[in-house]
Amino acid sequence: MITFDDVVKVYPGGSTAVDHVSLELPTGKMTVLVGPSGCGKTTSLRMINRMISPTSGRVLIDGDDIAGKDEALLRRGMGYVIQHAGLFPHRTVLDNVATVPVLLGKTRREARKAALGLLERVGLSEEFAKRYPAQLSGGQQQRVGVARALAADPPIMLMDEPFSAVDPVVREGLHREFLRLQQDLGKTIAMVTHDIDEAIKLGDVVAIFRQGGKLAQVGTPEELLTAPADDFVAEFVGRDRGIRSLSFTTAADLPVADLPGTLALDDAGRPTGWILESGRVAPTGGTFTSADSLRLVTDLAISSPVGIAVRVNEEGKADGVVPHHDLADYLAARRSS
């Protein structure tokens, strides 16, 4: 666990970048530091690897104050990924990834073999290994940046706006891959972003900073969406937070009604559409399983031609329906419980 214990950073010249921040970043989880520009996110991140020292307060790793640790040793346990990847321009992709392990004592051969494996894990095939950074797209460079940070297999990863230099579609893909990777690796990650949607999507814990380097709220994405501490947080997490918070709960406990006769099924019991009063069959527009989110069920119920979402089992067979008024009652009861 990384702990900020009443940390203050005042830069020479008097600006307070971080103002009495106390925060815990749990081991094996991703904590996202998010907030408007200039609110002290990067300063906080850099205090974890001692690129910046606190003016007062302590940063601890597993209970030990890092102020007393050898800087080089400390940083060896931390991967660092920055915007635009920060790759060595005159080294090949493979050598960008293999350099640190060689410095740490691996043979060049071992390091290159491991680097190829890492590049594959971040979605880059062998053909990219011989290229130079300038011969890659922005998204590919970011992937190399992540692979390079992972090369020393550090328990901690510090990431400063790692996905912000790429377009939204590429970013989506990188998010998905990164979440998959983190599921396997379980690193302790501190990530800085100014994008609340990215924070909510990636973070196990999200720490929202406000101007002046103060923490506004720390919580899981669901907590921030359902119970923002004040107007600043409510505004910052965005308008449709009610709908977005439904992404975090599955439909496992959602009661379903029996299949109505107006639901057309094929021989295997799979829904094929709704039989409308006119006799026309309209497509269902999608189905859900009990593992899907309440957000999907809501979307299906709203967009269904008859206002009913259809649940299917693992074989795709219809096994219940949720009319939109039942769903509204369920959501209202859930809120008040």
Ligand X SMILES: Nc1ncnc2c1ncn2[C@@H]1O[C@H](COP(=O)(O)OP(=O)(O)OP(=O)(O)O)[C@@H](O)[C@H]1O
The contact set with ligand X (CB under 6 A) reads 11, 13, 15, 17, 35, 37-43, 194
The residue (of 211 and 293) whose beta carbon lies closer to ligand X is 211
User: What is the nearest approach in angstroms of ligand X to the Cβ of residue 51?
Assistant: 11
In the complex, least distance from residue 33 CB atom to ligand X, rounded to whole angstroms: 8
DSSP, collapsed to helix, strand or coil, labels residue 173 as: helix
Pairing of strands 2-10, 56-61: antiparallel
| DSSP of 262-312 | TEEE-TTS-EEEEE-TTSPEEP----B-TTSBHHHHHHHHHHSTTSEEEEE
Cβ closest to ligand X, residue 35 vs residue 133 = 35
Shortest distance, CB of residue 190 to ligand X, whole angstroms?
Answer: 12
* Shortest Cβ 178–ligand X spacing (Å): 20
Residue 161: φ, ψ to 5°: 50, 50
Q: Which is nearer to ligand X, 17 or 100 (CB)?
A: 17
List C-alpha distances in Å: 239 to 73, 217, 250, 267: 44, 17, 22, 44
**Which residues, listed in sequence order, are joined to residue 160 by a DSSP beta bridge?**
82, 192
188, 28 in Cβ contact below 8 A? Answer: yes
Query: Any idea which residue has 């929202």 for tokens?
Result: 208
What is the closest distance, in whole angstroms, from the C-beta atom of residue 191 to ligand X in the complex? 12
**Nearer residue to ligand X within complex by CB, 40 or 145:** 40
Q: Which is nearer to ligand X, 7 or 151 (CB)?
A: 7
Residue 23 contacts residue 4 (beta carbons within 8 Å): yes
Closer to ligand X by Cβ: residue 38 or 273 = 38
**Shortest distance, position 47 Cβ to ligand X, whole Å:** 10
